[in-house]
Chain A
Amino acid sequence: MDALGEFVRVYQTTIGVIGINALLALSVWITLYAGQLTLGNAAFMAIGAYGAALLGMRLGVPFPLGLVLGAGLSATLALPLGLAVFRLRGVYLAIATIGFGEVVRVLLLTLPFTGKALGLNGIPPLTELWHIYLSLVVVAYVLWRVQGSTVGRAWAAIREDEIAAASQGIAIRRYKLAAFVAGAALAAWAGGLSAHLNFSIEPGDFGFTRAVQILVYAVVGGTPSVAGPILGATLLTALPEILRPLREYRDIFAGLILMGVIIYLPRGLVTLAELRKTRRLQEIGAADVA
């Protein structure tokens, strides 16, 4: 127990970041599960982070309430955005959400109360590790339960074939919107937690790179199950630490591992035990179907 306590103390920051990245990966997993590729989650994370930090620092709003308000604000913004962008699909949807992300980032650089390019500093470090991991457990459990519910099956049906789903009487637009708004709220929640973990935030933290990173966590981990994004986020966040002995070569190895996973496990790390099924799916040309 002592050794574990020591380990947690030494790697506190990394462990916290892993949990937050897992939450973010789950936020993008929700829309991926419904078959929609959206890249706006970094922006929603920014809204949650700035929302929680500004409310806490400027208005003295208590930390838990700040988190809830940040997530609420993000969900409120996601609703009209979703109404507009879900006329699009595939790569167009991805681009439109990237566009939204860039607008948010530029606004954070320009608005008078966001600290512009310097960002916000001196955010009180209120996030404890158990906040992050309690959120993660609750979210993972809820999403796991949702998979088997009416909503989860509707999302899966939309992912497999939109037209077939619509002809079965599934209200496609509504279910897509629900996935989008839920993902936005979760990303903002994670953003709020990260702001109070990291002491400072700046607009550059929430750009295009971040959006892609979140997507990579989910895809490398695997989208067929809730465990996938958590596993992906954990491994990819811990990898630079694990590879530390390799010094300057570690980015190369991290890149190689990433490529290996994508080539040999196209359905994600969680499908390691189902290699034969993946092969079979590849043979019939359906490996991209979760």
Chain B
Amino acid sequence: MGTPYELKAFTVMVVGGMGSLPGAVLGAYILGIGEIAALVFLPAELAELRDAFAFGLLFLVLVIRPRGLLGHRAVERA
């Protein structure tokens, strides 16, 4: 019931950077274009991997740049 979209919206937000509006737009473009590109350029039997692309991207961004592409660094206080 809408769960895939919910998850993808979440992904977009995190990829772009939480709390950043331009980041959300950028994240959405990257995710949308990337997913379709995966669909177009991958052989047909691997087409189902397009969903893995979104979450692979999410994973990569979180590991390399945990605050997202355009997010701000959070200051941590004790």
Q: List A residues at the B interface (Cβ < 8 Å).
A: 84-85, 87-88, 92, 95-96, 98-100, 102-103, 106-107, 109-110, 161, 163-164, 208-209
Contact = CB atoms under 8 A, between A and B. Distances in A.
A233 B61 CA distance: 34
Nearest to A102: B55
A209 B55 contact: no
21 contacts: A85-B63, A87-B63, A88-B66, A92-B14, A92-B62, A92-B66, A95-B10, A95-B11, A96-B59, A98-B7, A99-B55, A99-B58, A99-B59, A99-B62, A102-B51, A103-B59, A106-B48, A110-B49, A163-B76, A163-B78, A209-B3
Contacts of B48: 106, 109-110
A84 B3 CA distance: 26
B37 interface: no
How big is chain B's contact interface, by range? 20 to 34
Contacts of A110: 45-46, 48-49, 52
Contacts of B11: 95, 99
B56 interface: yes
Contacts of B7: 98, 102, 208
Contacts of B59: 84, 96, 99-100, 103
A34 to B, nearest CB: 18
Contact of B3 (A92, A109, A163, A208): A208
A112 to B, nearest CB: 9
A68 B12 CA distance: 38
Contacts of A84: 59, 63
Contact of B55 (A88, A100, A109): A100
